[in-house]
Structure 1
């Protein structure tokens, strides 16, 4: 175990470092605006975000277990509705992992930790007390919680090295360089890629994982073309559609670096969000600066999760719904003919069961596509659709998550 210092954190991620010797680590889930102000609070060693229930959680474990000063992990912010890393983190603290390194009782998508040794999981569960405040975004409430945790800091964590085997070093990558010549492609998938940017170094970071989530290669560069050619040169991209997708994402990352934009894989480029205002006490009563009008947050839309045929039959027109469908035909332009699918989450993992109920989905250029594009809206596609159902039982798709590569019907 390393002590907190210049070598910590030991793995990269989306985080801000506060006082490395402080006892509290904060996971703000997907709430980026919380990260900077929380990292600046007294008692906070690090504040970061997490999007996935596998690679993201693995990096949290590595950074926490290599800093013995951290004794608490506070989960807050908005969780990902699809990947559920917050719920998976809480399940990890409560239940640990099974023999296949899958988090026991986790609700997230593919919650496996292939690069983390069992002993490191055990240390994580012993070292930190995990507090699940998922959904909390109030800075003052979180600040008070941090103060109370700091007040009962038990001191640096100590391990019995005589009985603790050497722990896994985490993700290890072989360096590959950009550049090369275009070569013919064959259809044989070799894994997947995670793309991010380092604005300080003006670099695009591309990491290659095998289909079982094992880390394989890392490439750093500044140009999308040379990086894609490097992947082709080393035979890491063997599917034409995959190469096209990577070219698009690498180009987006390059533009984000050039113009100071925020880059998130599979999402449109956008301006970086401003941090939430620093925590401050409200003005005293009678203050000249006191406002009588409180700002109103925009109302949040609530989508009804439709999981059974019976429930589908009771949905009223103009209701916002969330349902699964399997595409069986394309009756007209921008309309998908689908079979309603019942999701069963009673077991260790979600099971999708097809039904005989027909559902039609209308989509437009404004519909948000996640984990895929318009080219994936074909017969055989498995989709999770969020939208409004009208009086003709037509669902107007506002967001469609392409699950074809990660889900199967039973």
Structure 2
């Protein structure tokens, strides 16, 4: 087994530098804890950007994967397999919708949602071909494909990848007036994150999602909610939209749907939306494969019990109470979030988000920075209160040390 230094040197030499990971090399993991190649343990307070909502090595998910591995792992969509129908029906029921279009990654699901909205706009709403518009929010993060970065306002994600895909209009997040002004007769969809994760865990103003739902319904426009990070228990409810009793036309799901075992994503909507597709018009060789369906079915079953949502809500209240006590003490300028998800803004006098993340790593806690001055806290939903409190103690000590 390589040492940390050896592994880091090899990665630096042979992998593209499209990430800037913390200098830790994980070898094993269980629950909310990870162990590096030299035996040091770390509390995972990031959970793979919500892909690991149910923790590392979750026994129910591993057992489901192992059982399926012995049977069949891939058929392609050229044939049916015996887990596909159950996956689609169970996920549709969880979302309160009628149909599912499975893909693999979150970005693929967003691309699929974009295609869905445009096709619906042309074939159902009657928008002239080639003129469909989709309204999105500034500071969004929906992935990094060429089309998706075309409507990003993050220069690191967007610059030098043009020419860009047209057909998107960007408005300020949380501004209903600007959104209403942007919606025209050719608008086919509004695409939003109910909580903006990469932007720093930004929660919109109260009533915003309800306003978006009312506006889109009045204007005959699809409301597409990107719940890839915010969904499947993270905020204390199955979907973040539920905090405002809102049901979008389209759910875009990923990350936690694969249980941290395999990549699984999906677009979920009613028949009048997803029914626009006909054979050959969209697809994925691996989308909805037997292994993915088996794991996702177990994820859905776990969510149906409600225990993970309840734990995230109760422990999330505790997390935010403790974090808000740090505001005004000099080191923390603001805290945002919902459930077991928080963005913590650090006073630059105490260090950058990266520097705070590195200091926490040295104390056995793993978080990740975003936009320079913010650290994100998003532990697995299975974390215990004792472990969470220990992690928060390390944060307090790092901040106190200045």
What is the TM-score with the length of structure 2 in the denominator? 0.28
Higher RCO (C-alpha under 8 Å, 6+ residues apart): 2
Q: Which has the larger radius of gyration?
A: 1
What is the TM-score with the length of structure 1 in the denominator? 0.28
